[in-house]
Amino acid sequence: MKNILSFCVLLLLFNCNTSAQKNNNEIQKEYAVIKTDSEWKKILSEEQYYVLREAGTERPFSSPLNKNYTKGTYHCAACNTPLFLSEHKFDSGTGWPSFDREIEGNVAYGTDHNLGYSRDEEHCATCGGHLGHVFNDGPQQTTGKRHCINGVALKFVPSE
């Protein structure tokens, strides 16, 4: 009887630390802009929600921002935080808007293992929206970085 009781207590302890609760703790990370899923769904298109809130990826070569060469600033499509300057944009040939650097302090970083290997993931530092990934195969004459960003996660604001 004592063994059964010990087993039940252990089972209860392990069940109190489920992956759902761990995910809730991760979501609790503090951002300046916090909205519920239903609030995000009201202000974002389906594709924007998929990329920004579910860490999805848009099809390559599908964003008109990929070939945008107008001077201006690329903002987060969810919260309007300025993220990248047009002067740091380059054509990487990958099918996604690419930049050699971010606006310092406005992009946060994490790691994802969704493809079975580690990649440096980029998020908006203000709302936590998924932007894309950063790689070390960018222009060597500048930073050597390639910030490979989903165009649907961006809103372009032309210079005046």
Burial degree of 77 (CB within 10 A; 0-12, 13-18, 19+): buried
Looking at residue 30, its pLDDT comes to 83
Round to whole Å and give the CA distance between 129 and 123. 5
Per-residue pLDDT of the chain (160 residues; tens, 9 = 90+): 556 655 444 444 444 333 333 333 344 468 999 999 999 999 999 999 999 999 999 999 999 999 999 999 999 999 999 999 999 999 999 999 999 999 999 999 988 777 666 778 999 999 999 999 999 999 999 999 999 999 999 999 999 8
CB burial readout 41-53, b (16+ within 10 A) else e: eeebeebbbbbbb
Q: Rounded to two decimals, what is the model's pTM? A: 0.80
Could you identify the residue written with the tokens 């500048």?
Answer: 142
Q: Is 148 a catalytic residue?
A: yes
Looking at residue 68, its pLDDT comes to 97
CA 123 to chain centre: 4
Q: CB neighbours (10 Å) of residue 105?
A: 9
Taking 3-state DSSP, the helix, strand and coil percentages for the chain, each rounded to the nearest 5, stand at 30, 25, 45
Looking at residue 18, its pLDDT comes to 33
Q: Catalytic one among 76, 79, 124, 148?
A: 148
Looking at residue 69, its pLDDT comes to 94
Looking at residue 27, its pLDDT comes to 42
Residues 6+ apart with CB under 8 A from 63: 96, 97, 150, 151, 152
